Amino acid sequence: MASKPPVAVYDACVLYPFHLRNVLIQCAFDGLVEARWTDEIHDEWIRNLAANTPALPIERLIATRDRMKAVLPDADVTDYRHLIPDLRLPDPDDRHVLAAAIAGKAAYIVTWNLKDFPEKDLASHGVASQSPDEFLTGLHATFPDALISSVKRARHNLRKTMPSVDAFIDGRQQSGLKTFPVLLRQNIDGLI
């Protein structure tokens, strides 16, 4: 890879949905992005997913978190809490995510909640927020072949319930991604 991968904090809202998490983690595992997160971010997506899906055992979610941490050990940001009091965001409860980005030397916060991370509050810290759609589309622009291969591996991670390529792409679209599924359809042969 000629370009250096971006460093990005994955907000809890992008780790919550399984299929998006699968793609984002695979991209990080494949070296297309240097992912960052904190235990606080993990606690948030696990807590919300457990509350919204009572039949899903919390132990399974914790095991998922532990596997993520095992395959991406450099993603954990730990020394960030001291930054929180001096940060300003529309929702003070989101300051921990920006603090993790600063401490983790991330250029991006990947989140669905863009309004919670306005440019005016992030720019002075050298951080920008991007939707997962924008972020994945940007990765494709920088690493087109590698990104398609990574998404193919993400699809193949679903060994027990591997969807057809069309169903896999449809699933990305149903999860709110708009531009990225179009790119996947343009590269459908690479996903087989």
Give pLDDT, residue 2.
Answer: 58
Segment 103-113 mean pLDDT: 98
Domain that holds residue 45: 7-191
- The pTM of this model reads 0.96
Mean pLDDT across the chain: 95
57 in a domain, yes or no? yes
Is 1 part of a structural domain of the chain?
no
Report if residue 112 sits inside a domain: yes
Query: Does some domain include residue 2?
Result: no
Number of domains in the chain: 1
pLDDT digits (tens, 9 = 90+) for 151-183: 999 999 988 888 899 999 998 888 899 999 999
Residue 80: inside a domain, yes or no? yes
Question: Does residue 43 sit within a domain?
Answer: yes
- Of the candidates 149, 120, 121, 117, the residue with the CA atom closest to the CA atom of residue 134: 117
